Amino acid sequence: MSNCIEIRGLSKTYKNNKQLIEALKPIDLDVAQGEIFGLLGPNGAGKTTMIKLMLGIIAPTSGSCHILGQDISSLQAKELIGYLPENHRFPLYLSGQQMLEFYGNLGGMSGKTLQTRIDEVLEFVNMTEWRKLKIQRYSKGMMQRIGLAQALLNRPKLLFLDEPTDGIDPVGRMEIRQILEVVKSEGTTIFVNSHLLSEVELITDRVAILRKGVVVKAGNTQELTQSHDIFVIHLAAGTPPSDLAGMTHFSANTQEIELIAGTPDALNAAIDALRKHNCLISAISPKKSTLEEIFIALMHEKQEHLTPA
Ligand SMILES: Nc1ncnc2c1ncn2[C@@H]1O[C@H](COP(=O)(O)OP(=O)(O)OP(=O)(O)O)[C@@H](O)[C@H]1O
Ligand SMILES: [Mg+2]
């Protein structure tokens, strides 16, 4: 799969009254076509700076960013992008339909082509019923769905979402997740910036974690949350021996054992020991940590212990 976003040595230093703020140190990052990519990081880490650079809203101090081979400063690159900003403020006195007409016109669409596309996106985000209602009267979930409709109007190849599910109830969040899954299945790349880690974990294929302008971790969401040397062994019957083949076994009750097994040999030795003690194993699974646990651990590590990913 080729890349949708290619970032090379991209950095941003703000100058404020002679004071230099290094918001983003030189970063390399690739986002593959058709994946959902999450950008995480605490307040002030540089997430918005990075999104603004990728949208061509601010100029980089160094480096480059290409969207499907087009330099981000070009109009061609911008035509490929859809964007749902954080805390968007669409004119409240417009109906959803009128707002879409307004943004469609701004994007150079008009007439029958625009009306047909508006019908499509409204149907897609399940807002057809409320198209004539003023935005003022929309719920937060409806507000985000109409925002998504706006971001999808120009059939973008790359969709940027800033905190798309913030302040939305679980059902509304699920609806947005379902919409994004369909958008992804149509081949659109999605770049999402969010504080809701449990949410990010559910939708992203890969994530990068930013801290003080440096990517401290990047990778496949599944792989990051899957620990490779801690296993949970479930027992249907039997009592495990207190010392499992000399391995550190740090939590046990009669149904579940957590153990550290760095190699398949070590794991099998533990299984042998359990079987010898007439334990009936019903399942063995690698322990999953949440993205939140990984995030918090990374934020507590001293900067010098972190190797840029
Ligand atoms: N226009 C600006 N001028 C000067 N400094 C800025 C400017 N914009 C951002 N910064 C600084 O750059 C750093 C990164 O800010 P940025 O807004 O990118 O962080 P963020 O990760 O989006 O944070 P949050 O989660 O709070 O939105 C911060 O120290 C911020 O104060
Ligand atoms: Mg921000």
Does pLDDT of 99 surpass 70? yes
8 Å CB contact between 240 and 259 = no
In this predicted structure, what is the pLDDT of residue 2? 83
Residue nearest to atom 5 of ligand 1 (CA): 14
What are the tens digits of pLDDT across the range 117-174? 999 999 999 999 999 999 999 999 999 999 999 999 999 999 999 888 888 888 999 9
8 Å CB contact between 90 and 138 = no
Contacts of 280 (CB under 8 A, 6+ apart): 235, 236, 237, 238
264-to-59, 230, 244, 267, 280 alpha-carbon distances in Å: 50, 11, 15, 5, 19
Which residues are near ligand 1 (CB < 6 Å)?
14, 16, 21, 23, 41, 43-49
Residue nearest to atom 12 of ligand 1 (CA): 23
Instruction: Using the mean position of ligand 2's atoms as its centre, give its distance from the Cα of residue 219 in Å.
Output: 21
228-288, CATH topology level: Alpha-Beta Plaits (3.30.70)
| Token representation of residue 212 | 């003080």
Q: In which element (H, E) is residue 252 found?
A: strand 249-252
Does pLDDT of 250 surpass 70? no
In this predicted structure, what is the pLDDT of residue 254? 62
Q: Where are the domains of the chain?
A: 3-223, 228-288
Q: Per CATH, is 3-223 categorized as 3.40.50.920?
A: no
Instruction: Using the mean position of ligand 1's atoms as its centre, give its distance from the Cα of residue 49 in Å.
Output: 6
Strand order in the sheet with 3-16: 19-32, 3-16, 62-67, 70-71
224, 275, 223: which is closest to 245 by C-alpha? 275
